[in-house]
Amino acid sequence: MTTVSELIQPRELIGDTGLRPHSPLTRAVHGHRQSRRPHPHHALTTPIVQTATYTFKNSADLCAFMEAKMWGNDPEMAERGEYGRYGNPTVRSVEKRLATLEEGDDALLFPTGMAAITNVLLSILPAGAHVIFTDDCYRKTRQFCNSFLRRFGIETSQVPVGDYAALEQAIQANTRLIISESPTNPYLRVVDLERLADIAHRHRVKTLIDATFATPINVRPLQFGIDLVIHSATKYLSGHNDIMAGVAVGEAGLIHALRQSQGMLGGVLDPHAAALLERGLKTLALRVRQQNQTTQSIASYLETHPKIEQVWYPGLSSHPDYAIAQAQMSGFGGVVSFTIKPIAGETPLATTSRFIDAVTIPLIAPSLGGVESLIEQPALMSYYELSTEERLAIGVRDNLVRLAVGIEDENDILTDLEQALAQI
């Protein structure tokens, strides 16, 4: 028989003792909650504080707040609301939950993933700095560095992902930042984070990892010495294809500095979107575990199919980064990329489009990480304006397919892929 004290025991663990030692599964549900102090009106969920500005009781109250902000002697007072662009309690609550999940000091939310990336780069790079990024990086990040930041005298170098000698060689006296992703898009390359951080730190260079494809359930890059982690929270973190958001997680001083510049640059997350993100985070671990498992099965199935040319998934022993993925990640994510074998008398572009059109469960759309499976042919989706030759130069083959697996039944997706492959 269960005794009363046994019933009380687990409550103590998730109550006043804090949640840091718990698994990501528990942290995703309970967030940063350090005590059982209730929310206003004893609400279990975080209230949506829909306000543009905040009031002060009187001038003395205002002065006490300004003093607390200046001297940092009263953190609780300093965190109270002032004006919407400088912070919102709903957004703040989700930031703390994300910091806990990534095992970072603090986090800062943005209205999109790109807002997180551009805000970070605009804030931390001085004029004339040099940035290194790995190829197979999110295309808009590369474009921002190569075209937009160039106007401020910022130089860039691109090195092949996985070539650590080239990475070290690319470091110059003015190099300030190394940007990479892990896993990358679309070939799911996995970066040896410890090795990357070690090279960067030896040269006093900061590191930024876009870990959108990994999620904190599969890998937490700060644990490996990375300085800053970024996510497009539009993808797995919110998980339902219904909001856009971005987040940066890292050391407290760095996040504080980013918060200061966010107050100037002005890109803040809406509290409604923050509430939907928090709701998504509560099921993050369940969704990602399911997506890991289903995608592993799909990748293995595709690899044996006679109409498939090649499959890229870090959970397959054929993937170039299988070993580092095994050592570094606890799951390999919900995206699998593959090429369709060319057929005589038809362009690979056309055969691949016919396959995609024959699939019925995954929807044709950009993005990933939501509950619905999405499928796309990168040659038509993100690289349409390029010629076949230009696409090949950046590694995007005409017969490449990217499947972002949702949480539908594994057998249903496998059966669907089988019937679609039978039609080509």
Ligand X SMILES: *Cc1c(COP(=O)(O)O)cnc(C)c1O
Contacts with ligand X by CB under 6 A lie at 112-114, 138, 181, 185, 210, 212-213, 232, 234-235, 244, 246
Residue nearest ligand X (C-beta atom) = 113
Look-up of token digits 């949506």: 48
CB of 359 to ligand X, least distance (A): 21
Max intra-chain CA distance, the chain: 81
Which of 27, 235, 391, 402 is an active site residue? 235
Question: Could you give the CA distance from residue 175 to residue 125 in angstroms, rounded to a whole number?
Answer: 10
DSSP letters spanning 2-55: --HHHHHHHHHHHTTT-STTS-HHHHHHHTT--S-PPPGGG-SSPP----SB--
> Which tokens hold the place of 92?
């703040």
Which of 92, 136, 138, 189 is an active site residue? 138
Nearer to ligand X, 213 or 338 (CB): 213
What ranges in 329-407 are assigned the alpha helix state H?
A: 348-358, 378-381, 388-393
Say whether 85 is catalytic: yes
Nearer to ligand X, 90 or 234 (CB): 234
Cis peptide before 40 (omega within 30 of 0): no
Nearer to ligand X, 153 or 366 (CB): 366
Nearer to ligand X, 19 or 193 (CB): 193
By three-state DSSP, how is residue 132 classified?
A: strand
Question: Could you give the CA distance from residue 18 to residue 414 in angstroms, rounded to a whole number?
Answer: 42
Nearer to ligand X, 114 or 124 (CB): 114
Say whether 97 is catalytic: no
Say whether 198 is catalytic: no
Say whether 220 is catalytic: no
Question: Could you give the CA distance from residue 336 to residue 294 in angstroms, rounded to a whole number?
Answer: 10
Question: Could you give the CA distance from residue 214 to residue 176 in angstroms, rounded to a whole number?
Answer: 25
Active site residues: 85, 138, 210, 235
